């Protein structure tokens, strides 16, 4: 603890981050540029999320970190240990016990509560980037609410594939104003963004953007009246470990003969259910 | 003249203070408590903590009215190093509502970069939940806060996504009003 400043970053950097976070909260869905720092991990490993988490942490926090729903993957374990070392915070794998949750590409199955902060790691914050590569143009499109291009893109999906063919990073409209990339969460998680009691912060380190969804913010997944949004997942499958029917499932290949199983992506949710089942059986 | 102290333990004190301010900004009209701190008169402890947490040499500060005195100027120079500027150049401003003057004199930001607007720290005699109804992001059903000038703040909110953000301070208490909050029933 004595080797680093609290939460790793210097105070001037944290003030810059905190000012950006407050502006992001004041303009839900708008991407606030910030001066992203080099972190002791490569881009793509959550440098944006780590900076947002560092700016928000207090010593009393309990931190949970998940990577694709799992608490026990390299990225999640590394970031959890990083903050335990440089901020001295308690860590947990239980969603309900965490005050700050940093996540890569999932929202926990256990409903979040008021007072919790969910920090997303974001690779490409600009939802229009693959439709229009020029930053000057996408900035003007956001300023003018000129979102026809995105609707055309979704329409073309329907024309080609018969449905909106996007399973993750499914674009949303925030409070009827900004179109926002919810980070590469499965579209199964999109409904959890809407009217969440928790504060949701998004950090993109390489792209130098911070954006936010305050609690109880209206977040609508883009769709058409005749092609409404559906929060899909592996059809007809249940978790092979805990039997959950309502959770998002990962497909795991088990051998070279085509064997496969579906298991909960959220390891804490799955383990909690297994423990409860063992208790019931006993 | 004797300078009052800043944070005793800046990294941790600033972190705790920011979480309180963030809680306020994420829940417009929620009145939150900050720890007591010595502040140069007439600056409230809450406003002093906001300045220590968010303002530094990169953020021009406007001191309005009675807050533009030697004690506060010296305190700002020593603890923050923020350039003291006129309203049109300010990233942050501190003062009573009447002293802060017309909102139009502060940077309202552009439609391209709506984040580049000023944040006004408004010193109040008291904060009260007995006021106009507020709705919008961060408000579950309806909140309420006594506001100094409803028409001016409604006009500010109508500019969304452009517009100013407000931190109302009184003693060690603080409440936030971001531009995203709709004011009044209509």
Give me the sign of the Cα torsion angle A236, A271, A116, A91: negative
- Closest C-alpha among B150, B133, B130 to residue B142: B133
Residue B102's Cβ-count burial label (10 Å; 0-12, 13-18, 19+) is exposed
Please, are residues A149 and A141 in contact by the beta-carbon 8 Å criterion?
A: yes
Please, are residues A66 and A120 in contact by the beta-carbon 8 Å criterion?
A: no
- Closest C-alpha among B174, B185, B175 to residue B134: B185
Contacts of B52 (CB under 8 A, 6+ apart): B6, B7, B10, B13, B14, B17, B37, B79, B80
- Closest C-alpha among B167, B76, B152 to residue B121: B167
> What's the ipTM?
0.97
If you measure CA to CA, which chain B residue comes closest to A215?
B138
Contacts of A148 (CB under 8 A, 6+ apart): none
A144 CB within 8 Å of a chain B CB: yes
How close, in Å, is residue B71 to chain A by CA atoms?
24
Interface of B with A (CB under 8 A): 10-12, 14-16, 18-19, 21-23, 25-27, 53-56, 58-59, 110-115, 117, 119, 136-140, 160-161, 165, 178-180
Q: Which two tokens stand for residue A36?
A: 């992203």
- Confidence check: pLDDT of B186 > 50: no
To 10 degrees, the CA torsion angle through A250, A255, A259, A262? -20
Q: Which two tokens stand for residue B124?
A: 């109040």
If you measure CA to CA, which chain B residue comes closest to A135?
B112
Q: Is-catalytic flag, A264?
A: yes
The pLDDT of A260-266, averaged and rounded, is: 96
Q: Residue B117 in 3-state DSSP?
A: coil
pLDDT tens digits for range A120-172: 999 999 999 999 999 999 999 999 999 999 999 999 999 999 999 999 999 99
Give the full edge-to-edge strand order of the sheet including B165-170: B32-33, B173-177, B165-170, B119-123, B92-96, B61-63
Checking DSSP bridges between strand B132-135 and strand A90-91, what pairing results, if any?
A: unpaired
pLDDT tens digits for range B24-78: 999 999 999 999 999 999 999 999 999 999 999 999 999 999 999 999 999 999 9
pTM: 0.97
CB-CB neighbors (< 8 A) of B179 in chain A: 26-27
Rounded CA separation B48/B39 (Å): 6
pLDDT tens digits for range A167-222: 999 999 999 999 999 999 999 999 999 999 999 999 999 999 999 999 999 999 99
């Amino acid at each position: 603890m004595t080797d680093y400043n609290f939460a790793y970053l210097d105070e001037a950097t944290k003030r810059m981050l905190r000012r950006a976070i407050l502006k992001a909260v004041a303009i839900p869905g708008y991407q606030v540029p910030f001066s992203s720092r080099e972190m002791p991990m490569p881009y793509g490993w959550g440098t944006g999320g780590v900076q947002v988490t560092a700016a928000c942490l207090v010593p009393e926090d309990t931190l949970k970190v998940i990577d694709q729903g799992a608490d026990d993957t390299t990225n999640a374990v590394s970031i959890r240990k990083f903050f335990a070392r440089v901020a001295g915070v308690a860590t947990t794998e239980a969603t309900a016990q965490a005050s700050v949750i940093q996540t890569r590409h999932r929202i926990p199955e256990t409903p979040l509560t008021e007072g919790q902060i969910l920090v997303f790691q974001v690779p490409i914050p600009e939802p229009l980037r693959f439709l229009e590569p020029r930053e000057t143009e996408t900035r003007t499109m956001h300023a003018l609410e000129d979102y026809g291009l995105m609707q055309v893109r979704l329409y073309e999906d329907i024309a080609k594939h018969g449905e909106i063919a996007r399973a993750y990073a499914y674009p949303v409209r925030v409070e009827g104003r900004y179109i926002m990339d919810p980070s590469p969460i499965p579209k199964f998680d999109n409904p959890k963004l809407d009217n969440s009691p928790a504060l949701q912060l998004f950090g993109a380190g390489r792209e130098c953007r911070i954006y936010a969804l305050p609690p109880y913010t209206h977040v609508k997944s883009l769709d058409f009246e005749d092609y409404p949004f559906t929060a899909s997942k592996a059809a007809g499958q249940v978790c092979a470990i805990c039997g959950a029917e309502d959770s998002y499932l990962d497909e795991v290949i088990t051998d070279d003969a085509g064997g496969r199983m579906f298991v909960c992506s959220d390891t804490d949710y799955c383990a909690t259910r297994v423990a409860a089942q063992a208790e019931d059986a006993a | 003249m004797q300078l009052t102290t800043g944070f005793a333990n800046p990294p941790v004190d600033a972190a705790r203070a920011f979480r309180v301010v963030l809680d306020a900004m994420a829940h417009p009209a929620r009145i939150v408590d900050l720890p007591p701190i010595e502040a140069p008169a007439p600056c409230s402890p809450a406003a002093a903590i906001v300045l220590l947490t968010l303002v530094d040499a990169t953020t021009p500060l406007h001191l309005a009215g009675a807050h533009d005195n030697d004690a506060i100027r010296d305190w700002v120079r020593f603890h923050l190093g923020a350039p003291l500027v006129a309203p049109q150049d300010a990233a942050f401003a501190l003062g009573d509502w009447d002293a802060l003057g017309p909102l139009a004199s502060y940077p309202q930001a552009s439609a391209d970069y709506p984040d580049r607007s000023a944040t006004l720290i408004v010193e109040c005699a008291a904060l009260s939940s007995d006021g106009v109804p507020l709705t919008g992001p961060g408000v579950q059903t309806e909140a309420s806060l006594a506001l100094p000038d409803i028409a001016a703040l409604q006009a500010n909110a109508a500019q969304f996504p452009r517009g100013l953000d407000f931190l109302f301070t009184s003693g060690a208490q603080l409440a936030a009003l971001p531009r995203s909050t709709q004011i009044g029933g209509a």
